[in-house]
Structure 1
Amino acid sequence: MVCALGAAVCFGTATVLQAVAARAAAGSGSGGDAALLLRALRQWRYLAGLALDGLGFLLQIAALRSIPIYAVGAALAASLAVTAVVAARLLQVRLSRVEWGAVGVVCAGLAMLGLASGTEGERAGSTELKYAMLGVAVLVLLAGVVAGRLPERGRALVLGLGAGFGFGVVEVAVRLIDDLSVGALLGNPATYALLLGGGAAFVLLTSALQRGSVTTATAGLVIGETIGPALVGVVWLGDRTRDGLEWLAVLGFAVAVVGALALARFGEAPVEEGVAGGGAVAG
């Protein structure tokens, strides 16, 4: 659980650092997205954010190999709470009382999950499940193509959900890879599910944030990356809670996810217009 929470802290902080760097880069010259990215890469905050993303991914893998998927998914959704708190300090974003309350709700949900979570399930993933995850990854990619043609109102939600399912595939696939030798990795469908699901999720989330409401897209992302993988972990991989604490795990999971949804506007670190150089409020 410490690794899962560490991953949430890394991802949440990285979002804000990259937002600060991107804003500074946007204010230092003109040009398209490629030029903006090149200028951002010269900002130490952007590079620090990328390093935190890498560390967060390693911590996520360690967590997925140790505790149930439902606990990791809820903890990763809590990165929105980290983003909100850090943005309040670094970006001077004003959090409402409701949003501060949501941060507390997320923390309470994670505390309940920490108390109730058992060890990861001992069931080995079947070959059918590995191919199923690969199939879901392909469907996520196809859904992104279709969603791009939807009306603007529904497009962000569908793209966000697709990205969530893609990241969910990554969470499950990590559990389905038990041999890290080159030959075993190349022959394991879960390896390709992880790569395709993660790549598709990144593309869909980027498209959702660029072409629709950040709040809507992030809400879809949170739902997609928590509920589905949690069910797979419980039903097919044997994830369980401590004896007699099933109710606490369900309650903690629900509370953490609801709190994260209340903070969905922080899916792309928002910046209030006119604060420290300008910008627009995301969402």
Structure 2
Amino acid sequence: MLIGLLLALVAMVLNSVGALLQADGSRRATRTRPVAVQPRFLAGILVDLVAWLCAAVALRQLPVFAVQAVIGGSIALTAVAGARMNERPLGRNPRIAVIACLAGLVLVAASAGTDRPPVQSETVNVVLIATLLVLAVVVLVLRQFPRAWPLALAAGMGFGGSSLAVRAAHVEVGNGFSVMALLGQPTTYLVIGFWVVGMIGYSAALSRGDVGSVTAVFVVTEVVLPGIIGIVLLGDPVRDGWVWPFVLGLAIAVAGVVVLARTPPPRRPRVK
């Protein structure tokens, strides 16, 4: 359990670094040098991939909502660093909203139980496949509009779906590990599919909005919805007597996200 928490903390820091690199790369994009060839944007994707690998290992030891809630600490890191990059300090309401998000996510993480019940893969696979298909269509549609927060919301669901697929996968560690067995189960491809959809949505959101607000909406969505689904679908446990703190934490975090989503992004010059 301790190793899982440490890996989740590493993923938290790397997620923040990746978001800042991708946001900076998005701002430097031009018609002649699109975002797909910007070195900082590509470096951000690489950092995000390493962060995801750390989170994937943590998910084999801890419930989905616990790992995602620890990673949610990237909200504060990204918001503060992003404000400095934009040379514009956070306003009073966004600061309060960030604190609310963190406080709520701490309650969610503290509510995690330690048991890990077996996963019923057939039902889980059907639900995840249907969700991935719908989410892919939603992201493609949302990319036609200028608003950032709906894309951040969809991206959070994408990365959250990837976490659920990791949690649902049947992987033998040690001498029983088999590459063919790993490649032979649908959850392996669901992990990749959700990650790709989430990355596309997140990159599009960063090109449209403030990195701090986008990351907050993205991270809390990544915690709340998959966390609830993990409890219902995968049987992730909540500690005895902690149901109400868990619900309260979700409510506080969502309230903070609503405030951040309604905050207009700062105007900033595009780097040429």
Sort the TM-score into its range (normalised by shorter chain).
0.7 to 0.9
Partner residue, 2:165: 173
- Report how far residue 172 of structure 1 moved: 0.5
CA distance in 2, matches of 1:125, 1:32: 49
**Residues 217, 257 of structure 2: 8 Å contact kept:** no
Q: Mark the CA change 1:119 to 1:166 in structure 2 (over 3 Å): closer, same or farther.
A: same
CA distance in 2, matches of 1:253, 1:66: 22
TM-score by length of 2: 0.77
CA distance in 1, matches of 2:267, 2:106: 31
Partner residue, 2:13: 9
Partner residue, 2:174: none
**Residues 169, 229 of structure 1: 8 Å contact kept:** yes
**Residues 66, 120 of structure 1: 8 Å contact kept:** no
Partner residue, 1:105: 100
- Aligned residue among 242, 247, 257 for 2:244: 247
- Report how far residue 133 of structure 1 moved: 0.9
- Report how far residue 67 of structure 1 moved: 2.0
CA distance in 2, matches of 1:202, 1:18: 11
**Residues 18, 47 of structure 2: 8 Å contact kept:** yes
CA distance in 2, matches of 1:181, 1:69: 24
Asked if 1:204 is matched to 2:192, the reply is: no
Aligned length: 260
Query: CA-to-partner distance for each residue in 1:46-67, whole Å, 9 max, x for gaps?
Result: 73x4453233112211232222
Partner residue, 1:279: 270
- Aligned residue among 133, 142, 147 for 2:137: 142
- Report how far residue 271 of structure 1 moved: 6.4
Which amino acid is 1:98 matched to? N
CA distance in 2, matches of 1:132, 1:21: 35
- Report how far residue 78 of structure 1 moved: 4.1
Asked if 1:79 is matched to 2:83, the reply is: no
- Report how far residue 84 of structure 1 moved: 0.7
Partner residue, 2:87: 92
Instruction: After superposing the two structures, state which structure 1 stretch, 66-75 or 140-149, moved more.
Output: 140-149
CA distance in 1, matches of 2:107, 2:187: 31
- Cα RMSD, aligned residues only: 3.5
Q: Mark the CA change 1:223 to 1:10 in structure 2 (over 3 Å): closer, same or farther.
A: closer
CA distance in 2, matches of 1:147, 1:12: 24
Q: Mark the CA change 1:13 to 1:213 in structure 2 (over 3 Å): closer, same or farther.
A: closer
**Residues 214, 265 of structure 1: 8 Å contact kept:** no
Partner residue, 1:163: 155
CA distance in 2, matches of 1:18, 1:243: 40
CA distance in 1, matches of 2:136, 2:45: 24
CA distance in 2, matches of 1:20, 1:159: 18
- Report how far residue 145 of structure 1 moved: 4.3
CA distance in 1, matches of 2:267, 2:149: 24
TM-score by length of 1: 0.74
User: Percent same amino acid at aligned positions?
Assistant: 33
Which amino acid is 1:187 matched to? G
Which amino acid is 2:23 matched to? A
Partner residue, 1:225: 222
